[in-house]
Amino acid sequence: MPERGITALTRHPRVSEVPTINEAGVPGFEVTSWTGMCAPIAVPKPIVVKIEADMQKLLAMPPIRQRLSDMGVDPDPMGSAQFTALVKAETVKWTKVVKDAGIPPQ
């Protein structure tokens, strides 16, 4: 097994020579990090839409993208429906990992 590997399912363009953990022999291995904005459920839809549009514009600005890239961040903006689905999927995934590992609730 290699001494290093990418934890996403696909290689990263900045270090394309580094294989994924999946490629290195751990099928389905994927651990990624993400950041998102959340708001209370009572926030009116027009405000959510405005925030989404403003964030899309901000994350499309070359100086912002460059600064994030310099920090090793690859923005992949998504709308509230996609983000909600991501959070739900991650909750299911990591709940199973915790249960399978026998980690007690804390």
Q: Strand, helix or coil at 25? A: coil
Amino acid at 33: S
Note the pLDDT of residue 31: 93
CB 74 within 8 A of CB 66: no
3-class DSSP assignment, residue 95: helix
Domain boundaries, the chain: 1-32, 35-79
Give every residue of the chain whose pLDDT is below 70, as ranges.
Answer: 1-2
